[in-house]
């Protein structure tokens, strides 16, 4: 994405972090922000928060969902605007004006009716965040020392494999190569610096 030099990036990950520990949410979200700004300081970033069935109880109790609250810390730290589009739909379900499965059959991806509620939320006024770095060349210490700004995607060619086959067809429209295996005791080795490795499977 960054190779395309975007002027504006919308980031929406709140619905994907339901069972993720706080520390990983913080470090991964900060990684996204810092990598975008490192590539081009002028690129604007807006965080967007949608909702899932799992967040309903938070709205019922009048509190912000944990995943949203964690990302708002990042937004405030870096002076980023955010748009919360889950509230109106959640309250419509709690008030009985909208059925859960009218909102989303899978609990996540909205119906046309729910998209209309999201639009109402997104058009509401939003206050800008007060903090953030001053401008190009300024430094801002990360919230966490274990942030993932240096994280990178490793190519298939960087791995040493035994029993795996390299597939040269695009995977899910994003990656030109992949690894496939159907044999037990197959092995894969990848050299890395740091404490975390993620696999896309």
DSSP code at position 171 = B
> Is the distance from CB of 77 to CB of 34 less than 8 angstroms?
no
What pLDDT digit, counting tens, does each position of 11-66 carry? 887 777 767 788 878 888 888 888 898 888 889 999 888 888 788 888 888 888 88
Angle between helices 22-39 and 66-78 (to 10 degrees): 30
6-122: CATH topology is Rossmann fold (3.40.50)
Instruction: Classify strands 160-162 and 165-167 as parallel, antiparallel or unpaired.
Output: unpaired
Please report, for the chain, the start and end positions of each structural domain, with discontinuous segments joined by +.
6-122, 152-201
Predicted pLDDT at 9: 93
- Position 166 pLDDT exceeds 80: no
Question: Half-sphere exposure of 143 toward its Cβ, with a 13 Å CA cutoff?
Answer: 23
């Amino acid at each position: 994405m960054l190779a395309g030099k975007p002027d504006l990036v919308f980031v929406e990950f709140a619905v994907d972090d339901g069972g993720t520990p706080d520390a990983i949410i913080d470090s991964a979200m900060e990684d996204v922000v810092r990598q975008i700004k490192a590539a081009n300081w002028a690129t604007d970033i807006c965080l967007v928060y949608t909702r899932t069935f799992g967040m309903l109880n938070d709205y019922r109790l009048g509190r912000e969902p944990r995943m949203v609250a964690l990302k708002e810390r990042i937004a405030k730290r870096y002076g980023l605007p955010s748009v919360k589009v889950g509230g109106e739909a959640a309250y419509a379900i709690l008030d009985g004006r909208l059925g859960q499965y009218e909102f989303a059959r899978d609990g996540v991806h909205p119906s046309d009716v729910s998209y209309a509620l999201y639009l109402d939320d997104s058009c509401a006024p939003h206050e800008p965040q007060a903090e953030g770095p001053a401008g190009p060349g300024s430094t801002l210490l990360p919230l966490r020392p274990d942030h993932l700004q240096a994280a990178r995607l490793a190519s298939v060619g960087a791995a040493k494999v035994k029993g795996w086959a390299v597939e040269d067809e695009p995977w899910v429209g994003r990656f030109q190569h992949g690894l496939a295996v159907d044999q037990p005791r197959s092995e894969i080795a990848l050299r890395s610096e740091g404490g975390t490795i993620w696999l896309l499977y």
